[in-house]
Amino acid sequence: MKQTAITKRLAGLGGAKWGVYLKAKELVAQGQDIVEMTIGEPDVPAPSELIEAAIGSLHRGRTTYSNGRGEAGLRAALAERYSNRTGQNIDADQVLCFPGTQTSLYAVLMGVAEAGCEVLVGDPMYATYEGVVRASGADMMPVPIRSENGFRINAEDIAARITAKTSAILLTTPHNPTGSILTEEDIKAIGDLAIEHDLWIVSDEVYEELIFDGSEFSSPLSQPELADRVIVVSSISKSHAAPGFRSGWCVGPPDFVEALLPLSETMLFGNQPFIADMTEKAIRDGSSVAPGMAQRYAARAQRLYERLAEETQLQVHRPQAGMFAMIDVSATGMNGEDYALHLLEHGEVAVMPGASFGETMDNWVRVALTVDEAAFATACDRIIKHAKQLELENA
């Protein structure tokens, strides 16, 4: 039977990038002792107060239809939060609620790009970005994010790739997979380009609350001159250790949100009221788990950096935020995918090949910092033992 153009555009962009992760799951199911460090699953369960809030809302009968914008209480809470954070006057009518950041990204990209457009995206990038861009019909144009710049996307590299077809710049700050954070100066320079070329800025800020000590978060939404062209997407998945609730949102200019509303109503007619009530509580109360997660992930990244620097030729990029650390494995003579498969088979540790996140990371792997302390220590020991074995084989 004939298939549609969108299925062809998205061919190969699904589970193919998660081959090592899936193979590790198979080995675990077979009883093999694998330390899984592939995906960004928080290392704590969703807070009990949020679960209780959702259950209470269910008991109150909050299982009816919502509306395309999302529940009024949640949108008001988000408007207040972003107004306080940015110093700008954000109204509830600037908010649309979606089931998670991923759905929000999909809808927003549909609103800023279409066939004949190009969207600039930093390389490396989160694994689904190419899919949400291609789904709109637009072409994704990778912009290399360089290790020598601390894995922060550079305005000059963006400028070199802007064409008459460019419609939007998709940013991630804090960044997945590298954990870098754009500075206010970075954002100002990128914003100047967006103004000069009349481009949208879409900012994925899902790791905003997992900032490590000594680092500072900035958002393009905080800059008044960008108010008519910035759309922020986020969720409670990371900040509140609640990925399974699938509760996210976008915040943007009023006219953009109004124009996007029919698409939201077509996709899902508002988020579930009982989840919206729980999310409203999460937003108004703040996260009880984010500070602890940030502290643990920062400490694990530092230990990984120190141990591998002392005992191997592997080099760790220390993140400023998020759930991951990147390891440069080029000293092994293997690319990231070959190394990840070899480590899984011979070292019993599962990590993600860097190429799953973009061509610039071909010699890197991504390590999730979200396993417990005992598993993390075991993983470090195994990675070091495996590296030493490789050194002997290559000597």
Report the 3 state secondary structure along 102-160: HHHHHHHHHHHCCCCCEEEEEECCCCCHHHHHHHCCCEEEEEECCHHHCCCCCHHHHHC
Do 329 and 364 touch, CB atoms closer than 8 A? yes
Mean pLDDT of 105-134: 96
Instruction: Return the structure tokens found at 92.
Output: 């509830």
- The model's confidence at residue 269, banded by pLDDT at 50, 70 and 90, is confident
The DSSP annotation for 324-368 comes to EEEEE-GGGTS-HHHHHHHHHHHH-EE-EEGGGG-GGGTTEEEEE
Q: Is the pLDDT of residue 56 over 80?
A: yes
**H-helix or E-strand containing 319?**
none
Q: Is the pLDDT of residue 270 over 80?
A: no
> What residues form DSSP beta bridges with 314?
none
Determine the 3-state secondary structure of 170 from DSSP: strand
Peptide bond into 124 cis (omega under 30): yes
Instruction: Return the structure tokens found at 273.
Output: 């009221």
- The model's confidence at residue 90, banded by pLDDT at 50, 70 and 90, is very high
Fold agreement between 5-45+289-394 and 48-285: no
Closest CA to 166 of 120, 122, 230, 115: 120
Do 143 and 121 touch, CB atoms closer than 8 A? yes
Distances (CA, A) of 195 to 1, 79, 188, 388: 45, 25, 10, 51
pLDDT tens digit sequence for 209-260: 999 999 999 999 999 999 999 999 999 999 999 999 999 999 999 999 999 9
How many CB atoms lie under 10 A from the CB of residue 207? 28
Q: Is the pLDDT of residue 395 over 90?
A: no
- The model's confidence at residue 99, banded by pLDDT at 50, 70 and 90, is very high
- The model's confidence at residue 207, banded by pLDDT at 50, 70 and 90, is very high
Q: Is the pLDDT of residue 14 over 70?
A: no
Residue ranges with strand state E in the chain: 35-36, 95-98, 118-123, 139-144, 166-172, 200-204, 230-235, 248-251, 315-317, 324-328, 349-350, 352-353, 364-368
What does pLDDT average to over the chain?
95
Q: Is the pLDDT of residue 16 over 80?
A: no
Cα separation, 110 vs 349, in Å, equals: 38
Domain ranges of the chain: 5-45+289-394, 48-285
Mean pLDDT of 46-65: 96
pLDDT tens digit sequence for 308-341: 999 999 999 999 999 999 999 999 999 999 999 9
- The model's confidence at residue 12, banded by pLDDT at 50, 70 and 90, is confident
Residue 212 φ then ψ, to 5°? -80, 155
Closest CA to 24 of 348, 282, 247, 392: 348
Q: Is the pLDDT of residue 1 over 90?
A: no
pLDDT tens digit sequence for 335-372: 999 999 999 999 999 999 999 999 899 999 999 999 99
Q: Is the pLDDT of residue 380 over 70?
A: yes
So what's the pLDDT on residue 152?
Answer: 97
Cα separation, 149 vs 153, in Å, equals: 8
So what's the pLDDT on residue 41?
Answer: 87
- The model's confidence at residue 15, banded by pLDDT at 50, 70 and 90, is low
- The model's confidence at residue 7, banded by pLDDT at 50, 70 and 90, is confident
Peptide bond into 262 cis (omega under 30): no
pTM of the model: 0.94
How many CB atoms lie under 10 A from the CB of residue 335? 18
Percent of the chain whose pLDDT exceeds 90: 89
Instruction: Return the structure tokens found at 143.
Output: 């912009």
Cα separation, 168 vs 201, in Å, equals: 6
Do 350 and 379 touch, CB atoms closer than 8 A? no
What is the CATH code for 48-285?
A: 3.40.640.10
Q: Tell the CATH topology of 5-45+289-394.
A: Aspartate Aminotransferase, domain 1 (3.90.1150)
Percent of the chain whose pLDDT exceeds 70: 99
- The model's confidence at residue 393, banded by pLDDT at 50, 70 and 90, is confident
Mean pLDDT of 72-81: 98
